[in-house]
Every structure is written in structure tokens, then in C-alpha cells.
């Protein structure tokens, strides 16, 4: 389709012109994601402080995922009323408050309730963030734009254990949450004043939009693929420090440092995945990523000694490459006016399963003396995604 904008004005619509607002949104996503995974490096300390077992520790991530699931489903109703921009601000403010509540909760019940609120606050962001980015830039630049956005969670994967370990040398794990909540509140004010994008309403997941999506096999396939894809990132990451401490006898500080440093190269890998996605097509890129990620996850659970450390560094390089092609594919499912609805319906199930059920399952296996067995089973599920992805019908212009 030819643009009606004169050529002299077209550079204003180029990718570079929108780099700052994309980076601003990525900054919000960074704190959003960091808030949901910061418990992972804190788990050994939290277990000792609260006197809970591995399964109960893993269940904390399930509670965050329950809240995240509910908020993602409801996000379309919120953004339809207050626009995507205000939804992003609301998410950040509510997240800061929820982190404060978690920090000040004294019993396990209060902490569990607060973590549900953390998940709910965080869940409002993603559909509005994705919709804002895909409206800001042309479709041919989606791979690059979304890969920049995906630097945020990958940077959070690096920062969480390193920041947690650094701050634990000075303050308690509760104070860590207070610091994070304060930063989130500050950024919410900054975005409300200086941020760009999202000045349009979302589409509530009404009967018509849901009916349209539910009739598409691609929607259900992408939902399952998000389940296994998030298992390879959140599911493994959240329990990895505990796995290294409990099953491999590592010191907590060493385990957190390894997990943090292992994610450094993942930042560049996410950007590379966006470039590869634009060249090979989303479907082919996704299949390659799932094949390599599943294999590395299985090996992480079975290799001994030094090779475990090697896989701690290698596995996330494959896992983080899932999101640029996956979001690019999901953004083509259904008509453009229900794009955010497809995100708000498919992604919640992925996070509930991969970021909630899988940590609980791995913790359950750990209580029975087989953390490794749980990780191997997760790897097998990721590999099954390769076969499922073959049934995706490539959309016109996708390049698959």
C-alpha cells in the first residue's frame, strides 16, 4: 500500500524517529518484569526467613502468575476506556504500591495476597505496550522494534540476581522490594509527563473479538507455544538459583552471580533474534529457537559438574530468542483492531503455565529429590513446540 505522505516528510515516520519512545516503553517493561522475577534470587533467603519448603517457594510465582493472568484478560476492558497510554501509567503506579504491600507483609498469607496484586498490576502493561509499539512503527520494522522491547526482560534477567545479591549485603529482602517499588513509581510519573505512544483506545475482548480469535487455529497454536516458550525462560529462571544451591551445592552468592552473568549475552541475542526474524520469517525462526531451547534445557538437567555451568550460560541464549518471532506471529493473528485482544488472551495462559505452574512443578520435584527431573520434563515440553509450530499457517507478508 502506497503512503500518501510526501517523500520529504516520510523520514519522520522512519524507525529511528520512534527509537526514544520505544526505549521509554522498554524501560517501563524492564521494571515491570524485574518486579515479577526479583523473588527468584531472593528465594533461598525467603525460604529461611519464612520457613517454607521448595514447593511453597515455587508457589509464590504461581500466585504472581494468577494475578498476571487475570489482569491480562481484563486489560482490554481497561485500555478501551482509558486508552493504552493511561493504562501503562496505571500499571506502573499500581505495581509500585503492590511491591510496598509485599515488603510490609509479615505473614505468608499477606505476602501471597500481595503477590497476586503484583501480578495484576504488572499484567495491565503488556497488551498496551505491544499495541503502542506496533502502532508507532511500520510492520516491516516490527521485528526490530519488538526485539528492542524484549531487551527489557533480558536485561532484567541479568539485573535481578546481581542487584539482589548486591543489595542483600546492605539491606533485607523486604527493603529490596521497597527500592524497586519506589523506582517504579518514579518512572510512572516520568512517562505520564514525557512518554509518547498509546494515545488510542484498546479493544475489549468482547464476544465478537473472542469469537473471531477462537475460530482461528493459529490463535490456539500460539497460545500453547507461549506456554512452552515462557517455560524455557521464566519457568527455568525462577527456580534455577534454588536448583544450583540445593542440587549442586553452590553458595547462594555464586549461584546468583552465575545466573545473572549468564543472561548478559542474552541481551544481544534478543536483538539478533529480531534481525533473524525479519530475514528468515517468524515461523522458521520460532521453530529453530524451540528446537535449540528444548535441547539445551534437557541437557541442563542431565549434565554433571562443569557442564552444568556451561549450560547455565548456553540455555538462556536460546530461550530468550523466542519472544521476537512469537510476538511478531501473534500480532498477525486476527484483524488489526483485535491485535491487543489476541495478546491479552494468549499471553496470560503462557505466563500462567510457564511462569506459574512450571516453577511450582519444578519445586514439587525438588521436594522429592529430583530438581533435575523437573527441568528435563520442561525441556521435553519445549521440544514438542517444534512439531506444533509446523501447523501454523504463514500470513501474507510474514515471510515464513
Instruction: Please state at what angle helix 54-104 crosses helix 236-247, rounded to 10 degrees.
Output: 120
DSSP at 394: P
Q: Lowest-pLDDT range, 27-36, 69-78, 111-120, 214-223?
A: 69-78
DSSP at 396: T
pLDDT in tens, 328-342: 888 778 777 666 677
- Return the closest-CA partner of residue 176 out of 155, 162, 188, 189: 162
pLDDT band at 380 (very low <50, low <70, confident <90, very high): very high
DSSP at 393: P
Q: Give every CB contact of residue 258 below 8 A, 6+ residues apart in sequence.
A: 244, 250, 309, 312, 313
pLDDT above 90 as % of the chain: 26
Q: Average pLDDT in the 219-231 region?
A: 92
Q: Average pLDDT in the 27-46 region?
A: 90
Q: Average pLDDT in the 199-210 region?
A: 70
Distance of alpha carbon 136 from alpha carbon 14, whole angstroms = 10
Distance of alpha carbon 2 from alpha carbon 24, whole angstroms = 30
Q: Give every CB contact of residue 318 below 8 A, 6+ residues apart in sequence.
A: 232, 289, 292, 293, 295, 296
Answer with the residue of higher pLDDT: 91 or 265: 91
pLDDT band at 34 (very low <50, low <70, confident <90, very high): very high
pTM over 0.85: no
Q: Average pLDDT in the 130-155 region?
A: 79
Answer with the residue of higher pLDDT: 41 or 56: 41
pLDDT in tens, 69-94: 888 778 878 888 888 889 999 999 99
Question: In this predicted structure, what is the pLDDT of residue 88?
Answer: 93
Phi and psi at residue 215, in whole multiples of 5°?
-85, -5
15 CB-contact burial (10 Å; exposed 0-12 / middle 13-18 / buried 19+)? middle
Question: In this predicted structure, what is the pLDDT of residue 337?
Answer: 65
CATH number for the region 17-389 comes to: 1.20.1250.20
Question: In this predicted structure, what is the pLDDT of residue 32?
Answer: 94
Q: Average pLDDT in the 146-164 region?
A: 84
Give all strands (DSSP E) within 128-261, no chain letters: none
Question: In this predicted structure, what is the pLDDT of residue 7?
Answer: 38
- Return the closest-CA partner of residue 210 out of 347, 66, 73: 73
pLDDT in tens, 39-54: 888 888 888 887 777 7
- Return the closest-CA partner of residue 218 out of 316, 88, 345: 345
Question: In this predicted structure, what is the pLDDT of residue 101?
Answer: 94
Instruction: Delimit the domains of the chain by residue range.
Output: 17-389
* Angle at CA of residue 33, ends 151 and 365, nearest 5°: 110
CB 154 within 8 A of CB 267: yes
CB 256 within 8 A of CB 241: yes
pLDDT band at 248 (very low <50, low <70, confident <90, very high): confident
Distance of alpha carbon 395 from alpha carbon 391, whole angstroms = 12
pLDDT band at 179 (very low <50, low <70, confident <90, very high): very high
Q: Lowest-pLDDT range, 4-13, 138-147, 286-295, 305-314?
A: 4-13
Q: Lowest-pLDDT range, 72-76, 184-188, 201-205?
A: 201-205
- Return the closest-CA partner of residue 79 out of 337, 373, 306, 334: 337
Q: Average pLDDT in the 347-355 region?
A: 84
Question: In this predicted structure, what is the pLDDT of residue 340?
Answer: 64
Rg of the chain on CA atoms, in Å: 20
pLDDT in tens, 266-294: 777 767 877 787 788 888 889 999 999 99
Question: In this predicted structure, what is the pLDDT of residue 399?
Answer: 42
Q: What does the buried/exposed string (b/e) look like for 221-253 if buried means 16 or more CB atoms within 10 Å of the residue's CB? A: bbbbbbbbbbbbbbbbbbbbbbbbbbbbebebe
pLDDT band at 5 (very low <50, low <70, confident <90, very high): very low
**H or E stretch at 41:** helix 39-50
Q: Does position 177 have pLDDT exceeding 90, yes or no?
A: yes
Q: Average pLDDT in the 11-20 region?
A: 63
pLDDT band at 151 (very low <50, low <70, confident <90, very high): confident
Distance of alpha carbon 366 from alpha carbon 397, whole angstroms = 45
Q: Average pLDDT in the 53-60 region?
A: 80
Amino acid at each position: 500500500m502506497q503512503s500518501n505522505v510526501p517523500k520529504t516528510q516520510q523520514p519522520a515516520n522512519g524507525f529511528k524517529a520512534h527509537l526514544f519512545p520505544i526505549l521509554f516503553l522498554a524501560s517501563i517493561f524492564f521494571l515491570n518484569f524485574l518486579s515479577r522475577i526479583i523473588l527468584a534470587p531472593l528465594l533461598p533467603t525467603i525460604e529461611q526467613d519464612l520457613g517454607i519448603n521448595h514447593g511453597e517457594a515455587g508457589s509464590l510465582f504461581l500466585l504472581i502468575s494468577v494475578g498476571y493472568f487475570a489482569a491480562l484478560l481484563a486489560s482490554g476492558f481497561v485500555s478501551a476506556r482509558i486508552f493504552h497510554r493511561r493504562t501503562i501509567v496505571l500499571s506502573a503506579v499500581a505495581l509500585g504500591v503492590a511491591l510496598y504491600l509485599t515488603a510490609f507483609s509479615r505473614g505468608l498469607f499477606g505476602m501471597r495476597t500481595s503477590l497476586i496484586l503484583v501480578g495484576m498490576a504488572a499484567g495491565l502493561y503488556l497488551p498496551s505496550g505491544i499495541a503502542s509499539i506496533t502502532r508507532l512503527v511500520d510492520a516491516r520494522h516490527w521485528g526490530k522494534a519488538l526485539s528492542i522491547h524484549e531487551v527489557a526482560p533480558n536485561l532484567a534477567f541479568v539485573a535481578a540476581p546481581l542487584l539482589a545479591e548486591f543489595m542483600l549485603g546492605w539491606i533485607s529482602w523486604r527493603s529490596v522490594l521497597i527500592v524497586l517499588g519506589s523506582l517504579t513509581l518514579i518512572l510512572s510519573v516520568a512517562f505520564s509527563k514525557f512518554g509518547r505512544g498509546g494515545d488510542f483506545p484498546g479493544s475489549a475482548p468482547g464476544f465478537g473479538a473472542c469469537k473471531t480469535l477462537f475460530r482461528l487455529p493459529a490463535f490456539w497454536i500460539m497460545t500453547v507455544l507461549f506456554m512452552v516458550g515462557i517455560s524455557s525462560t521464566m519457568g527455568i529462571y525462577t527456580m534455577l538459583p534454588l536448583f544450583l544451591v540445593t542440587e549442586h551445592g553452590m553458595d547462594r552468592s555464586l549461584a546468583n552471580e552465575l545466573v545473572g552473568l549468564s543472561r548478559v549475552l542474552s541481551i544481544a541475542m534478543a536483538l539478533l533474534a529480531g534481525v533473524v526474524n525479519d530475514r528468515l520469517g517468524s515461523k522458521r525462526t520460532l521453530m529453530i529457537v524451540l528446537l535449540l531451547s528444548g535441547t539445551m534445557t534437557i541437557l541442563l538437567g542431565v549434565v554433571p559438574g562443569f557442564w552444568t555451568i556451561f549450560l547455565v550460560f548456553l540455555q538462556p541464549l536460546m530461550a530468550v530468542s523466542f519472544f521476537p518471532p512469537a510476538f511478531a506471529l501473534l500480532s498477525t493473528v486476527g484483524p488489526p483492531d483485535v491485535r491487543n485482544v489476541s495478546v491479552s488472551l494468549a499471553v496470560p495462559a503462557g505466563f500462567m503455565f510457564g511462569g506459574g505452574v512450571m516453577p511450582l512443578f519444578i519445586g514439587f520435584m525438588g521436594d522429592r529429590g529430583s530438581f533435575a527431573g523437573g527441568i528435563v520434563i520442561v525441556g521435553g515440553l519445549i521440544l514438542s513446540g517444534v512439531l506444533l509450530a509446523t501447523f501454523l499457517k504463514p500470513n501474507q507478508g510474514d515471510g515464513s
